[in-house]
Chain A
Amino acid sequence: MTELTQVGDISDSAGERAVARRTVYVYQAPVRIWHWVNALCMVTLFVTGYLIATPPDSVTGEAYNHFQMGYIRFVHFAAGQTMAAMFLLRIYWAFMGNAHASQIFYIPFWRLDFWKGVLHEIRWYAFLEKYPKQYIGHNPLAHTMMFGVFTLGTLFMIVTGFALYSEGAGRESWQYKMFGWVFSIFPNSQDVHTYHHLGMWVLVSFTILHIYAAVREDIMSRQSIISSMISGERQFRDEDA
């Protein structure tokens, strides 16, 4: 999260100055692929999860001709397990990738200037700051949201999701062996359903804010945002001519 204070410029042999724009490679390919697969899984999980709790109108005819709930649940479980596997790979990449790759997994809790940065971003979003600061990775507020809401939220959904899955898979399943401890905390799985369900709304809220922030910052903060998650490069649009 290096703050960019100096933007240099380039001139050719004839002394003609080109528009100087600095580009930094931020999001490596694995992060980008992960981001879009994950986003797709998430949206699928929102829709199917909601339908699990509030199924569509009943189908008519014989039961053996239909498998509607079955398919909804199947898609939910498939997306859930894909998301979980991708999450594991993403953690692996936090160690293997560049400095930005690990950003969403921790918060520099003890660094004062980090919290000052958070405050600055809050003031910026509250229209109290005239100019935004630029960061190569996530800005401190986005960083806090990414860790506090997305990373912890997703982890919570994976843990409770697999615990719920283990109820159908049975006591002998690896899911129960690994995630059965959830039922030591919440002995009645109806509570796990309730919290898993609330977790969805937390992530839905995150997604709304996240997409808004991405579009807004793309326009407002003089740096590329959305295209960064496609090309991996962050371009700073200031022209110090």
Chain B
Amino acid sequence: MSVAETFYEVIRRQGITRRSFTKFCSLTAASMGLGATGAAKVAQALETKPRVPVIWMHGLECTCCSESFIRSAHPLVKDVVLSMISLDYDDTIMAAAGFQADAILKETREKYKGQYILAVEGNPPLNEGGMFCIDGGRPFVEKLKEMAADASAIIAWGACASWGCVQAAKPNPTQATPIDKVITDKPIIKVPGCPPIAEVMTGVVTFITTFGRLPELDRQGRPQMFYSQRIHDKCYRRPHFDAGQFVEQWDDENARQGRCLYKMGCKGPTTYNACSTVRWNNGVSFPIQSGHGCIGCSEDGFWDKGPFYERLSNINQFGVEANADKVGMAAAATVGVAVAAHAAITAVSRVKVKHDGKAPPKA
């Protein structure tokens, strides 16, 4: 382990030119909105600060976050980021296995107590004492708590670690639980998405390693710089929304014309993510550009707020699957019928008890 080395030293050793390095610094600084002096700050930090040790753990998950991460757009990014941090442990991509791998965890805990970053992909299931996710012969939740105890900060990758994701969908048999409900005494940054956008992930890692602290977080614990606007706020189909031009059916003319997907259940108006600006796969496209509504994959509980293809979410509190309009209209109709019936009975009883204008007998 060469943790004392700086990031710059490592990439130079790997044959990356200084020119590529400064290019990376300015691109990264721009994506984080750091302004004109940002690139120099990033460069300076990467040249002088020792690399931050990172432990990357996997709980209940599908590895889509890792898949996204290693596909970062900038040609260098995956090498750059992987050498920027000292990724000491990641059971999915590391060479070591078994006892050897577990030994690294122990070593990092001892050597870098209170200094390393714990990146968590997936979450621990808590039911049956955590038996639904066994890692290295014991429940993942134990390993997580142990490694979290000596970490300086925790990155919760993706919807799983941030919110629970599909394994936490009702009725959540394994009791899959987001990280911040299990670890409550460490700073946690949530980077939600299913998966999060690669550039967002590398941006977060770069910020933390560059400045030695977490970026500014919002109310939900997400980095402001990538999650302070909705898909809907920057969506290129927004003019069609404002005009009132919607795809009404998947195969209609409006769909071919690329109109707004609101009526097809697009969750862009309630989803905070950078898709409509950063896009995916090197900026090639994003779901809405491909004609499919946003399903809100970076939002809490998105898996239980279906249907994906309807504007209104179903609510189950009333025993049946129905949306707010169905529940509300039924309630209003009941009131309406009750009122009509009441009016009828009133009219009948008024004929029977002749209204004589007299006051009631005093009690």
Contact = CB atoms under 8 A, between A and B. Distances in A.
A16 interface: no
Contacts of B336: 208
B315 A53 contact: no
B252 to A, nearest CB: 9
Contacts of B259: 58
A190 B267 contact: yes
B224 interface: yes
Contacts of A161: none
Interface string A183-210: 1100111110110011011101100110
Contacts, number: 149
Given A193-B270, A201-B324, A68 B299 contact: no
Nearest to B336: A208
A202 B269 CA distance: 24
Interface string B346-360: 100110010001111
B138 to A, nearest CB: 31
Contacts of B305: 188, 190-191
A20 to B, nearest CB: 11
A58 B259 CA distance: 10
B130 interface: no
A198 B324 CA distance: 5
Nearest to B296: A190
Contacts of A193: 270, 313
Contacts of B254: 58
Contacts of A174: none
Given A180-B219, A184-B219, A68 B325 contact: no
B332 interface: yes
B339 interface: yes
Q: Is the interface of A mostly helix, strand, loop or mixed?
A: helix
Interface residues of A, number: 56
B329 interface: yes
A74 to B, nearest CB: 10
B248 A194 contact: no
Nearest to B244: A68
B299 A190 contact: yes
Contacts of B301: 187-188, 191
Most buried by A among B296, B325, B350: B325
A167 B270 CA distance: 8
Interface string B224-267: 10001110010000011111111010000010000100110001
A111 interface: no
Interface stretch (A29-37, A96-104, A123-131, A226-234): A123-131
A63 B239 contact: yes
Could you say which interface size class chain B belongs to? 35 or more
A66 B332 contact: no
Contacts of A216: 342-343, 346
A53 B342 CA distance: 32
B357 A238 contact: yes
A130 B360 contact: yes
B294 to A, nearest CB: 11
Contacts of A171: 218, 224, 228
Contacts of A54: 311, 325
A57 interface: yes
A69 B224 contact: no
Contacts of B244: 55-56, 58-59, 66-70, 72
A155 to B, nearest CB: 19
Nearest to A50: B325
A212 interface: yes
Contact of A240 (B324, B332, B359): B359
B342 A125 contact: yes
Interface of A: 5, 7, 50, 53-60, 63-70, 72, 125, 127, 130-131, 167-168, 170-171, 180-181, 183-184, 187-191, 193-194, 197-198, 200-202, 204-205, 208-209, 212, 216, 220, 222, 237-240
Interface of B: 163, 218-220, 224, 228-230, 233, 239-246, 248, 254, 259, 262-263, 267, 269-270, 296, 299-302, 305, 311-313, 315, 323-325, 327-329, 331-332, 335-336, 339, 342-343, 345-346, 349-350, 353, 357-360, 362
Given A55-B246, A200-B328, A201-B324, 10 more contacts: A53-B311, A59-B243, A63-B245, A67-B242, A125-B342, A167-B269, A190-B267, A197-B312, A198-B315, A198-B327
